[in-house]
Amino acid sequence: MEQQLTELAAKVATLEASSGWMKKIDMEIFYWWCIALMFAIHAGFLAYEMGASRAKNVLASGIKNILAVAFIIPVFYFVGWWIYLAFPAGITPNLETGAAGLPWSASMGPNLTDSASGIFWGAFALFAATTASILSGAVIERIRLSAFIVLAIVLGCFAWILAASWSWHGGGWLLTKFGWHDFGAAGCVHMVAGFFALGVLINLGPRIGKFGPGGKINDLSPHNLPFAIFGLMLIIVGFFGFLGGCMIYIGDGQWTSIFGNPTTLSAVSFNVLMGFAGGIIGAWLMTRDPFWMMSGALAGIFAAAPGLDVYYPPLAFLLGVGGGLITPLADRFLQKMGVDDAVGAVSVHGIGGLWGILAFGIFASGYPQTVEGAPDTNFLAQLIGAVTMALVGFVPGFLVSMLLKAMGKLRIPEKIEIMGMDKAKVPVRAYPEGHFGTTPGGMTQVPFPGE
């Protein structure tokens, strides 16, 4: 018995001695699996956009989404992380803090003394790719692949990460000067991507046949709505990784927001699920359309995202209901203005994120900040931040797409758009003969008005 007690005491001592190592591994493993879950976002966007496309464009839509992730990751390695670390104070870079993000820094490669940089960089690289996927759905069926890749890089590796440096950083000027708060990146991810997409869509123009005489709005229906709805649900699965990556683990079971405010996974779990449910119900009340119900689920999460760390769960639910109600209305308004957003990305991400940012200023004003010298949260800070996020998204999206349009490089030729991008650009077929009106001579579809 004495020998067994001695062995047990030795094991306890060993565990106590290794507790620091265990905490480090816990942190690394947590973010590792957050990154893995975030890839479900891109699987979801892939399914969602391919399903939302007409059959003649389904593979072209998928290729565009796959390449967005592939191009953004290396560019974000060489440029994006430096921008995040160098620009929190404004438009003048801090070369000292930015040095850790340079590709030749010891932090940017195998380094056994640094167990954090790679996992944080990986999470942010996937955030960057998420912004490009948001843009991708809005512009399906008529944008040139090369133009999309250029725009995706501008958005994911420059615009969003500059916005994140200003607004989603413990030293960001929106926090330190005004008291901004946005736990779940409703501003720098969703608003920036949504308003960037709006700027692009204005120059890109609608799909052929979307609008008819007298302002008539034609329905260019998805070729596989169930697949699109499945993709939306998969995006929500991935957002549990995304929102987990919005937290900082400081050891001993303690968590903070990216701004340093204490929180728990428990609080975030309550509010994500309540916002999700509210968004579905709000969109159902407004449309009865299952596509918009699942889009409303996303909007509901974005509506609650700024305060997921602090909200009382019934409030997150009500904000989610508001997001589900607002976003279909916003999409209808955009269509009446002649903007053809194929999947409602501008309304779901841009307007849903805007509602969430402003709602935090209304319902959580006065929440104290932990950063020394930073004002308490307030509506003015949220308003200034919202305007900043909209401009950081819209201005580069509009200007770069306008330049591509002037060069004749933004949109595919009319002949290819009518024929279908798959037949013109993709060497394989999406479906066997006999499906969706295919014939031995290729894909044939009943044309929409104007085609």
Give residue 286's pLDDT.
Answer: 96
C-beta of residue 172 within 8 angstroms of C-beta of residue 87: no
What angle separates helix 313-336 from helix 265-287, to the nearest 10 degrees? 40
Give residue 446's pLDDT.
Answer: 40
Q: Look-up: residue for tokens 């700027």?
A: 199
Burial class (CB in 10 A: 0-12, 13-18, 19+), 85: buried
Give the number of other Cβ atoms within 10 Å of residue 16's Cβ: 9
Give residue 10's pLDDT.
Answer: 58
- Count of positions (residues) in the chain: 451
Beta strands in 278-329 (DSSP E): none
C-beta of residue 165 within 8 angstroms of C-beta of residue 172: yes
The tokens describing 339, both together, are 């903007």
Give residue 18's pLDDT.
Answer: 46
Give residue 432's pLDDT.
Answer: 79
Let me know if domain 26-105+114-425 sits in CATH 1.10.3430.10.
yes
Beta strands in 268-415 (DSSP E): none
C-beta of residue 203 within 8 angstroms of C-beta of residue 399: no
Domain ranges of the chain: 26-105+114-425
List residues bridging with 143 in a β-sheet: 411
C-beta of residue 443 within 8 angstroms of C-beta of residue 423: yes
Query: Which positions ≥6 away from 213 have C-beta within 8 Å?
Result: none
Q: How many CA atoms lie less than 13 Å away from 7 in the CB half-sphere?
A: 4
Stated pTM of the model: 0.91
Q: If we measure between CA atoms, which residue out of 314, 317, 310 comes closest to residue 360?
A: 310
Q: Can you tell me the distance from the alpha carbon of 61 to that of 220, in angstroms, rounded to the nearest whole number?
A: 15
| pLDDT tens, residue order, the chain (451 aa) | 556 556 555 554 554 444 454 455 477 888 999 999 999 999 999 999 999 999 999 999 999 999 999 999 999 999 999 999 999 999 999 999 999 999 999 999 998 888 889 999 999 999 999 999 999 999 999 999 999 999 999 999 999 999 999 999 999 999 999 999 999 999 999 999 999 999 999 999 999 999 999 889 999 999 999 999 999 999 999 999 999 989 988 777 788 999 989 999 999 999 999 999 999 999 999 999 999 999 999 999 999 999 999 999 999 999 999 999 999 999 999 999 999 999 999 999 999 999 999 999 999 999 999 888 899 999 999 999 999 999 999 999 999 999 999 999 999 999 999 999 999 889 999 987 666 544 444 444 444 344 4
